[in-house]
Amino acid sequence: MATILSVLDKHPQFGEKCFVAPNATIVGDVVMGDNCSIWFNAVIRGDVNYIKMGSKVNVQDGAVIHCTYQKNPTNIGNNVSIGHNALVHGCNIHDNVLIGMGAIVMDRCEIQSNAIIAAGAVVLEGTIVESGSIYAGVPAKKVKEMPMNTVHSEIERISNNYVKYASWFEDNNDAPKI
């Protein structure tokens, strides 16, 4: 069963049709929209500040979302994919964004809509990632611009796939009913 805990009278809140894997952890001031999925070993810690997620957000296996005490909450828009083992911390991620596997997005970053953070990238504190761009490397830099419709359709495809994958667990008696 997933670990879902209150902290200082702040309780995680879930939209409709959300899937939470049996070994995921969600604590504190976390609010998510509809059709979100939190996958195996993912951790979402809204203990020191709030975390708000829109609809159709998938937080893949081993990813961590956290924030900074009394300084930087984490805001995540709609239609966002956060890849396996990624770390998202105290930042703002707009709609239609892909955070690649193993990427790190630090405090006060702003990832604008229709952007991609490549696998393994480290987006340093305070970086603004422009719409329609791909950032990669350590530290992450803009490596490519793509047509907005191309970026949007690729991110939409991945997000829709995760809604489909989550539906495979709807009839699983072991999955938590949120």
Express each pLDDT in 151-169 by its tens digit. 889 999 999 999 999 999 9
Report residue 30's pLDDT band, with 50, 70 and 90 as the boundaries: very high
Domains contained in the chain, CATH given: 3-167 (2.160.10.10)
pLDDT > 60? residue 15: yes
Q: What is the pLDDT of residues 65-109, one digit of tens each?
A: 999 999 999 999 999 999 999 999 999 999 999 999 999 999 999
pLDDT > 60? residue 176: no
Question: What b-and-e string marks burial along 90-125, b requiring 16 or more CB atoms within 10 Å of the CB?
Answer: bbbbbbbbbbbbbbbbbbbbbbbbbbbbbbbbbbee
Average pLDDT over residues 37-63: 98
Q: And the tokens for 16?
A: 């409709």
What pLDDT, on the 0 to 100 scale, is given for residue 149?
A: 86
Average pLDDT taken over every residue of the chain: 95
Report residue 178's pLDDT band, with 50, 70 and 90 as the boundaries: low
Report residue 148's pLDDT band, with 50, 70 and 90 as the boundaries: confident
Asked whether the beta carbons of 81 and 95 are under 8 A apart, the reply is: no
CA quadruple 132, 164, 81, 31: dihedral positive or negative? Answer: positive
The mean-pLDDT minimum among 11-20, 75-84, 132-141, 144-153 falls in 144-153
What pLDDT, on the 0 to 100 scale, is given for residue 175?
A: 45
Cis ω before 22 (30° cut-off from 0): no
What pLDDT, on the 0 to 100 scale, is given for residue 166?
A: 95
Average pLDDT over residues 115-127: 98
Average pLDDT over residues 53-72: 97
